Amino acid sequence: MDIAELQAYGYFALTATLVVVLYGYIYHLYSKKKDADGHDYEDYSNMALKDDITDTPVSAVSDDKEK
């Protein structure tokens, strides 16, 4: 087995992994629809729409600290 062959296997394995991860991510996004904190992903659009410094964050860092 020379370096080129190793390279080919390595390439294939890594690409396959990344493809699986990407599709897993698609499945995850559309099946769960909500992230770990229970926020709907689409809520995050509000990070741009309500971005005044006085607006309430979609998920505040300080929430974590209070727990």
Partner 1 sequence: MENRPLEYDYTVAKMFMFTTIVLGIVGMLIGVILAFQLAFPSVNTILGEGLAEYTNFSRLRPLHTDAVIFGFTLSGIFATWYYVGQRVLKVSMAESGLLMFLGKLHFWLYLIVVAAVVVTLFMGITTSKEYAEFEWPIDIAVVVVWVLWGMGLFGLIGIRREKSLYISIWYYIATFLGIAMLYLFNNMEIPTYFASGGIGSWWHSVSMYAGTNDALVQWWYGHNAVAFGFTVPIVAMIYYFLPKESGQAIYSYKLSLLSFWGLMFVYLWAGGHHLLYSTVPDWMQTMGSIFSVILILPSWGSAINMLLTMKGEWQQVAASPLIKFMILASTFYMFSTLEGPIQAIKSVNAIAHFTDWIVGHVHDGVLGWVGFMIMASLFHMAPRVFKREIYSKSLMATQFWIQTLGVVLYFTSMWIAGITQGMMWRAHDEFGNLAYSFIDTVTVLHPYYTIRGVGGLLYLVGFLMFAYNIYKTMSARPVEESELQNASPMGA
Partner 2 sequence: MFHWLEKHPFFFAVGVFVTIAFAGLIEILPNFAQASRPVIGTAPYSTLELAGRHVYIKNSCNACHSQLVRPFKSETDRYGHYSLSGEYAYDRPFLWGSKRTGPDLMRVGNYRTTDWHENHMKDPASVVPGSIMPAYKWMFTNNADVDTAYAEQLTVANAFSVPYNEPVPMKDGSTKIVKMGKNLAEARALALAEAKEIVADMKDQDVKDAVARGEIPEIVAIIAYMNSLK
* C-beta separation of 34 from 41 below 8 A: yes
> Phi and psi (nearest 5°) for 66?
-70, -25
Beta bridge partners of residue 40, listed in sequence order:
34
Task: Give dist(CA 37, CA 47) in Å, integer.
Answer: 16
CB of 20 vs partner 2, minimal distance in Å: 12
36 interface partner picked from partner 1, partner 2, none, CB below 5 to 8 A per type = partner 2
* H/E stretch holding 38: none
Interface with partner 2 (CB under 8 A), residue from 13, 19, 23, 28: 28
Chain contacts with partner 2 (rule: CB under 8 A):
3-4, 7, 10-11, 14, 18, 25, 28-29, 35-36
Chain contacts with partner 1 (rule: CB under 8 A):
18, 22, 25-26, 29-30, 35, 37, 39, 41-49, 51-55, 57-64
